[in-house]
């Protein structure tokens, strides 16, 4: 069994400026390194198929890597994955190249990490949103792998409070007492967000209707625009996107229909004027933390968990939509209750 370690990390709450990262060739590599003397720790970051410009969790992992380059003086390189067939070659490229730590960004790389980490037992690995698995999807123990997990349901709950109260008070655009979520693929990290969103919205407004759909894609915005348009046609006037770069299409669909939307992973208020808030998952903090562990020699296999208590998740109000004071007070109250363990947010969709 993996050992759960809970840590407190102090995070400066400021809006992250999205970096414009040039498109890379398939399986290409970018390299940056900090100063300092002595042997550098070498870290390889492998993105999921959304790429560095997803304005979401791949981008945030890159932000964490850049922070480690600046503050910890490590050497950092990136390989972008453009399909699932890139996972093993990208991970292997770093593992066979003398890197101390290889970070896989995303649940979909679990099997690839399980395979490559077994082949390179002297290389340390971290996987965001997952654990190493065998070819059948069974979690396997690896003494050189740590899984970086988030309680996305807690972030989803905070934006669910906002959505539920807006509907209950008749302050949403259509006032049909209906909200929705567009997921990418039905995997645990996506469903955790939606579970918390639906739970909190129902808590604030028991009569609310919550529509849930999936695009089965994380990259193409047009594939998320379709489900969002259908949900809006069915009465949804607050659309929560949980689909990475694909979900930007859901935000844009909301804007086109003059309804509200909610971003995911990072502050997405700049993605569309319809965004009223974003459910935040601080992948940058997790990435920096595991790199720091390697630099300090304190890396341990198992699991690191990030939640509201250690500032690993949260929510970001959008500047273009000031949250009413009573709704903000309710968000603060629910957040405090979650941190205190007075309420537990479900991680499965009812």
Confidence bin at 24 (pLDDT 50/70/90)? very low
Region 94-123 average pLDDT: 97
Sorted by sequence, the CB contacts under 8 Å of residue 23 that are 6+ apart come out as: 51, 53
Region 47-56 average pLDDT: 83
Domain shared by 18 and 112, yes or no: yes
Tell whether 219 is covered by a domain: yes
- Tokens 């949804």 -> residue: 236
307 SS3 class: coil
Domain shared by 302 and 277, yes or no: no
Q: How many domains does the structure of the chain reveal?
A: 2
What is the DSSP code (8-state) at residue 40? Answer: P
Out of 55-64, 134-143, 170-179, 211-220, pick the least confident: 55-64
**Residue 93 phi, psi (nearest 5):** -55, -45
**Proportion of the chain above pLDDT 90, given as a percent:** 85
Domain shared by 124 and 181, yes or no: no
DSSP states of 179-246 as a string?
EEEEESS--HHHHHHHHHHHHHHHHH-TT-EEEEEE-S-SS-HHHHHHHHHHHHHTT--EEEEESTTT
Domain enclosing residue 335, as ranges:
152-281+320-339
What is the reported pTM?
0.85
Q: Quick check: 20 pLDDT over 60?
A: no
248, 53 Cβ separation under 8 angstroms: no
Region 209-228 average pLDDT: 96
Tell whether 311 is covered by a domain: no
Measured CA to CA, the distance from residue 10 to residue 40 in angstroms comes to 25
Query: CATH number, domain at 254?
Result: 3.40.50.2300
Among candidates 112, 111, 91, 113, which has minimal Cα distance to 43? 91
Tell whether 182 is covered by a domain: yes
Domain shared by 229 and 301, yes or no: no
Domain shared by 189 and 331, yes or no: yes
Measured CA to CA, the distance from residue 63 to residue 283 in angstroms comes to 9
Q: Quick check: 9 pLDDT over 60?
A: no
């Amino acid at each position: 069994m993996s050992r759960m370690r809970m840590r407190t990390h102090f995070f400066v709450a400021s809006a992250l400026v999205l970096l414009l990262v040039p498109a890379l060739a398939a399986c290409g590599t970018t390299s940056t390194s900090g100063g300092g003397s002595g042997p550098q720790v070498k870290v390889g970051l492998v993105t999921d198929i959304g790429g560095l410009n997803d304005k979401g969790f791949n981008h945030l992992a890159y932000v964490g890597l850049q922070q480690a380059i600046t503050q910890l003086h490590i050497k950092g390189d990136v390989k972008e994955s453009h399909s699932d067939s890139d996972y093993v070659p990208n991970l292997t490229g770093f593992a066979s190249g003398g890197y101390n730590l290889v970070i896989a960004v995303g649940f979909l790389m679990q099997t690839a990490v399980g395979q490559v980490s077994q082949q390179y037992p002297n290389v340390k690995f971290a996987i965001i949103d997952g654990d190493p698995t065998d070819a059948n999807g069974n979690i396997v123990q690896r003494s050189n792998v740590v899984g970086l997990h988030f309680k996305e349901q807690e972030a989803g709950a905070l934006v669910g409070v906002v959505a539920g109260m807006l509907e209950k008070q008749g302050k949403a655009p259509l006032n049909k007492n209906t909200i929705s979520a567009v997921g990418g693929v039905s995997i645990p990290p996506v469903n955790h967000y939606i579970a918390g969103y639906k739970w909190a919205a129902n808590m604030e407004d028991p009569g609310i209707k919550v529509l849930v759909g999936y695009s089965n894609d994380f990259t193409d915005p047009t594939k998320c625009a379709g489900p969002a348009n259908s949900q809006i046609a069915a009465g949804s006037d607050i659309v929560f996107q949980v689909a990475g770069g694909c979900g930007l299409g859901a935000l844009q669909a909301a804007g086109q229909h003059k309804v509200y939307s909610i971003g995911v992973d990072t502050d997405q208020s700049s993605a569309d004027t319809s965004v009223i808030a974003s459910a935040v998952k601080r992948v940058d903090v997790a990435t920096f933390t595991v790199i720091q562990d390697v630099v300090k020699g304190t890396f341990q296999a198992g699991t690191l968990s990030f939640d509201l208590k250690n500032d690993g998740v949260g929510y970001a109000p959008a500047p273009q939509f000031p949250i009413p004071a009573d709704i903000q007070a309710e968000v603060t109250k629910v957040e405090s209750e979650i941190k205190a363990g007075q309420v537990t947010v479900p991680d499965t969709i009812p």
